[in-house]
Amino acid sequence: MEYEVLEYRVEQSVAVVTLNRPPYNPLNSQIFMELVHVLETIEDDDQVRAVILTGKGDKAFAAGADVHEMKGLDRKGIAKMARLARAAFNSMELLSKPIIGAVNGLALGGGCELALACDLRICSEHAKFALPELKLGIIPGAGGTQRLPRIIGQARAKEMILFGETVDARKAYEIGLVNKTLPMEELYASSMEWALKLAENPPIAMQAFKRSINTGMNVDLESALLIEDAHSTIAFLSEDRKEGMTAFSEKRKPNFVGR
């Protein structure tokens, strides 16, 4: 498929997906549809073990939803756009492979929600995050009210949404919104370094771990432990588990193949 608003390439075992609507990479229906498609492509590619998601240029990861598209929509149209956004973000969480959000600038509104759907977030020192929807008479409706409190806690999430104020890179790291912050010129290399390390992990165990956390966060502890047990069993019965333990005993690097 030829992508109109995304760039997609594979480097070694890492898929690199870039939002390509510079300078601010606003999110529109086309981006959401292309994200779903590229994630399906990544899921089916056994050579890909990890993903980097970033924005084109150095100004923005994604500076919110495309207001030019939104302002012309009626209730039915905005509901459809919201469904497309949820489908894209849910696809990110359901992807069996880890996604690193390389936040290269502004991550506002829907752009912040997009970052929240990543498994890990690394940002440049000039990155800024905000969920300013209340000031427009709406709420963060693409997962922001649900994913943000699960990541940074309910009190901080309410503060961030109620005031709609911008959070800079340093504050984002302090409150646990991002895993690492560093100079812009180091962002891609650091993201790739992490992605290549993740790519060395056994695919089945990676999928089991990711689904255990993402599913378990939405249920009570007893149910979550049952989910963990089920995924733990799947990982234990894999050929990769046998290879990992054999390699450990033989003091060599394991060769995981995803079976």
Judge whether 255 lies within some domain.
no
Cα 123 to Cα 104: distance, rounded to the nearest angstrom:
6
Same domain, 94 and 61: yes
The verdict on residue 161 lying in a domain is: yes
Round to whole Å and give the CA distance between 156 and 166: 13
Is residue 144 in a domain?
A: yes
Q: Which residue out of 4, 11, 93, 113 is catalytically annotated?
A: 113
Give the domain CATH number at 231.
1.10.12
Q: Does the pLDDT of residue 256 top 90, yes or no?
A: no
Helices and strands (H and E) in the chain: how many: 11, 10
Burial class (CB in 10 A: 0-12, 13-18, 19+), 75: exposed
Q: Are residues 83 and 100 in the same domain?
A: yes
Number of domains in the chain: 2
- Same structural domain, 172 and 83: yes
Do 194 and 241 lie in one domain? The reply is: no
pLDDT greater than 80 at residue 209: yes
Confidence of residue 252 (pLDDT cuts 50, 70, 90): confident
* Predicted local confidence at residue 77, as pLDDT: 80
Residue 143 lies in a domain: yes
CA atoms within 13 A on the CB side of 148: 27
Closest CA to 215 of 224, 204, 226: 224
Q: Which residue has the tokens 């962002």?
A: 187
- Position 246 scores a pLDDT of 86
Binned at pLDDT 50, 70 and 90, residue 248 comes out as: confident
Among 181, 199, 217, the domain boundary falls at: 199
Any bridge partners for residue 129, and if so which? 107, 167
Domain boundary among 199, 217, 241: 199
Cα 106 to Cα 128: distance, rounded to the nearest angstrom: 5
Comparing CA positions, the residue from 128, 130, 85 lying closest to residue 103 is 128
Instruction: Return mean pLDDT, the chain.
Output: 92
Place 240 in a pLDDT band, splitting at 50, 70 and 90: confident
Give the pLDDT of residue 206. 86
Q: Is 133 a catalytic residue?
A: yes
CA 186, distance to chain mean position in Å, is 19
Q: What is the pTM of this model?
A: 0.92
Asked if 58 and 125 sit in the same domain, the reply is: yes
Claim to verify: residue 15 and residue 72 sit in the same structural domain: yes
The answer to whether residue 1 is domain-embedded is no
Spot the catalytic one: 11, 43, 93, 133. 133
Same domain, 10 and 68: yes
Task: Indicate whether 189 pLDDT > 90.
Answer: yes
Residues 22 and 121 in one domain: yes
Statement to judge: residues 167 and 210 lie in one domain: no
Could you tell me the pLDDT band of residue 217, with boundaries at 50, 70 and 90? Answer: confident
- The answer to whether residues 183 and 221 belong to one domain is no
CATH of residue 82's domain is 3.90.226.10
Q: Are residues 10 and 110 in the same domain?
A: yes
Q: What is the pLDDT of residues 7-19, one digit of tens each?
A: 999 999 999 999 9
Tens of pLDDT, residues 81-129: 889 999 999 999 999 999 999 999 999 999 999 999 999 999 999 999 9
| Distance separating alpha carbons of residues 216 and 211, to the nearest angstrom | 8
pLDDT top residue among 179 and 69: 179
Final residue before a domain boundary, out of 158, 181, 199: 199
Mean pLDDT to the nearest integer, 46-69: 92
Counting residues of the chain whose pLDDT is more than 90, the rounded percentage is: 69
Same domain, 63 and 79: yes
- What pLDDT score does 250 carry? 83
> Is residue 257 situated within a structural domain?
no
β-bridge partners, 181: 123
Tell me whether residue 37 is in a domain.
Answer: yes
Do residues 117 and 182 touch, judged by C-beta distance below 8 A?
no
Asked if 141 and 181 count as a contact pair (C-beta separation under 8 A), the reply is no
Residue 81's pLDDT is 84
Structural domain harbouring 53: 6-199
